[in-house]
Chains A and B, each alone.
Chain A
Amino acid sequence: MSSAGSRRQRVRENIQRFPPKDVHFRPKFAIVSFVSPCLVLLSLAMLMAIARVHAQTAQVGPIHFTNVTTAAGIKFVHFRGNDGIPINREIFGPGVCLADYNGDGYQDIYFVNGRDLYRRGIAAARNALYRNNGDGTFTDVTETAGVAGTGYGLGCIWGDYDNDGFPDLYVTQYGRNVLYHNNEDGTFTDVTDKAGVAGLEFGTQFHSGATFFDYDRDGRLDLYVGGYVALENGPRYCNISGVKTSCPPEAYKGTADILYHNNGDGTFTNVTKAAKIYEPQGKNLAVGAADYDNDGWPDLFVANDGLNAYLYRNQRNGTFDEVGVISGMALTVRGNTMAAMCISLGDYDNDGWLDLFITDFQKNSDHLWHNDGKGSFDEVSDQAGITVPTRDVLSFGGGFFDYDNDGWLDLFIANRSFTTMGSASSWRPPRLRALALRRLTWGGALLSPILTTTDSWTWSSPITETRRCCCATAAATATTL
């Protein structure tokens, strides 16, 4: 048996060993994480801890998380590459994403890093792939695997676009994105040009969220790539209340996202306009794909910064209809736009319909929408107790997950604080200020249980088929645990 064949066999065996409940292993949906740099190390720590938690689910009592980053051998430090006051690009990243890239049954971790774009000769910064050794430790295999990245990295997603049983890696960058094909032997090959997925067709440079999803149900993962603002054509800094700082999104023009159709031969075709989702002025932060209306076809959620959020309803014919406004999720219940850095989908009340969670800026609470099963969402943040606790923090990654395996979806939200405009330094140092971990309640009662949890944290599970949560920055949540 060839090496590749052997690994495929191991993958199959692993599927049998670690069957995610009610899900197929082959990832048809993948996620991009897109969180503050300050979260990365914590993410790993929490990841390790949650693994322990899952190993001890039979135990009764409170759940504690332990920071095991150092013990696990994780040494990644994000380099944001700022020259003086950071500009928007430098306060955005990095993403982090997980997958079992070598089919050994253990989740591996990929970190995205910044770069020196100011010609200062700082060449050390690169992305990092940490292989899970299966004993609670990780090894940096970036060089061997050949996945260091090719530019200033912002986000990443895993997805098996060629259905060979091994997840491939897509990295969003400032500039040309990169698609790494998994060679099934622990190495990857940059196939961006061959695949045609650099993401530059509409002039977008500042790429953000992305997701693999099979929108036409042809059995092959397609790719949606988000774009933020046209940073290169706008101001470097803005003066906000007398403080020189990075600029708000309204200082820039938006950019277009791209939908790539998987041709099945290792290439993709930009079908954004044909699919009727071309929006040249979007300011995307997070994306997520899920079948919110239970018609069996994945729909697309696109969260923007300071603009309407979009909900592209799959028309089942290769096109989408943008229904964000009429579905009631484009703006908050108070009629405001969001600085939506995270989207998470999950059926928190187990009524069979995916609900929606979106994080927001400081002084704007986070938002929870209940899916009414009729094509609309009702924001229930106030009723669910989300509004007040999230009002005074700046929420980044977060989302639904059942942290105590009680069958009820909880919410994890990673925050930091933004000082009052006009102070000497508008941004506090990028450290985590607060973690908000709370159980959703409704009138004091716990919400109904979720459908599944998994033992192996296969966040690239096929959501459209399982109705289990996950989307863009829900991955950030997952990896933060």
Chain B
Amino acid sequence: MWGRGTTTCPILIFMKLIRHATTFLLFGLIASRVAVAQTPQKSPRAAGKASGVDPATAVKQSLSLAEHGKCKEALQFLKKTSPTADKELKLKAGVATVRCAINLDQRGAATEAIELLNREFPHDPEVLYITTHAYSDLSTRASLELARTAPNSYQAHEMNAEALEMQGKWNDAAKEYQTILQQFPSVPGIHFRMARLYLSKPDAGPDAGEKAKKELEAELEIDPKNGDAEYLLGELAREAAQWDEAVGHFSKATKLEPNFPDAFLGLGMAYVGAGEFAQAITPLETYVKRQPANPAGHYQLAVAYSKTGRMEEAKREAALQKAAAQKIEQEKQEIADPGQKPAAGQEAQKPELRQQ
């Protein structure tokens, strides 16, 4: 699901895709231009028929065609060539297929090849790289088509608003959303995005929470089944220590989005905040089963157990909380920016060298 109270997820991905797609398109264009100057090679199919070469040789020849920009011929032949047992060759064939399919705007062929590659070579860096570029390119083409064919649709405005959000142009994005609401006041999701914008915008002012709350409530009038809106309202209420209200919103969120674990954590925390520790246990148990790596769930559950006299379970959860927190701490250290190590001559930081 998108969003979950942040703006980063969909828009960030979208913008990255656009950026990658541009690179990819450039790559394709350059490849095509370069190919024009190259000497055309004989079709591998023709070559295969003529000489009876094995699939591996035929694939190599197809790859050569692709490398020289003869994507149309290469793609035709690659589609019909028997699979080769050579894994490396198969990988190269798949990558070439994706590149050529994108170049020729054969979206179906591209997605088929992407699926095949990811199935055959999961976690392969080259596959993941080409997949990113391909999806980015497909995304860009779809967005361009949207802008070209339905520029006044709310979807086009929404897409534009998301892009503006990503660029940090919060006010412009808000105007786009407001434009949508003026023209399409019953479109679901827009009030939610407005609320999210208020909560994400830097220096949004002290009334940002209240504005967001109103937008979320408006969203729920349009779409009472918006679990995300209920969740955010729960978070706002919890931040304001309005525990009963938080419990109500989180409860609805868990019902509307039973596969969204954070709603269960929010519900449990709201109960803990309200001092209703016995009620907190069930949602927190649900949460820790689904998100065992998050120390927050174990912590809240440990508190709830402790407050209800279930000390052994409390100690167990406390131990799990510490273990999970330590793991996260280690991960933080691993990804921390190394910055500048102490420079030469500054070893005097070691205090024993400077004792008076």
> A residues engaging B (CB < 8 A)?
83, 89, 115-119, 148-152, 173-176, 205, 231-232, 235-240, 244, 247-248, 250-254, 281, 306-308, 323, 325-328, 330-331, 333-335, 337, 375-376, 378, 382-383, 387, 420
Contact = CB atoms under 8 A, between A and B. Distances in A.
- Chain B at the A interface: mostly helix, strand, loop or mixed? helix
B269 interface: yes
Ranked nearest first, the 6 interchain pairs of A and B with the lowest CB-CB distance are A175-B351, A382-B241, A250-B332, A325-B318, A235-B339, A251-B336
Given A250-B332, A333-B272, A327 B306 contact: yes
A115 B315 contact: no
Nearest to B347: A232
Contacts, number: 131
B300 interface: yes
B171 to A, nearest CB: 18
A314 to B, nearest CB: 17
- Chain A at the B interface: mostly helix, strand, loop or mixed? loop
B255 to A, nearest CB: 23
A300 B309 CA distance: 23
B322 A231 contact: no
Given A175-B351, A247-B337, A328-B307, 4 more contacts: A173-B351, A307-B325, A328-B303, A334-B238
Contacts of B317: 325
Interface string B265-293: 00001001101000000000000000000
A152 B341 contact: no
Interface of B: 202, 238-241, 269, 272-273, 275, 296, 299-300, 302-303, 305-307, 311, 314-315, 317-318, 321-322, 325-326, 329, 332-333, 336-343, 345-346, 348-352, 354-356
B351 A239 contact: no
A307 B329 contact: yes
A281 B340 contact: no
A174 B351 contact: yes
B346 to A, nearest CB: 6
A151 B351 contact: yes
B346 A118 contact: yes
Contacts of A330: 299, 321
A235 B338 contact: yes
A235 B337 contact: yes
Contacts of B318: 323, 325-326
A35 B299 CA distance: 30
B339 A253 contact: no
B346 A152 contact: no
29 contacts: A115-B354, A119-B345, A119-B354, A150-B355, A151-B354, A151-B355, A173-B351, A175-B350, A175-B352, A176-B351, A176-B352, A205-B350, A236-B346, A238-B337, A239-B337, A244-B339, A244-B340, A251-B333, A281-B326, A308-B322, A323-B318, A325-B314, A331-B296, A331-B299, A333-B272, A333-B273, A334-B238, A334-B269, A335-B296
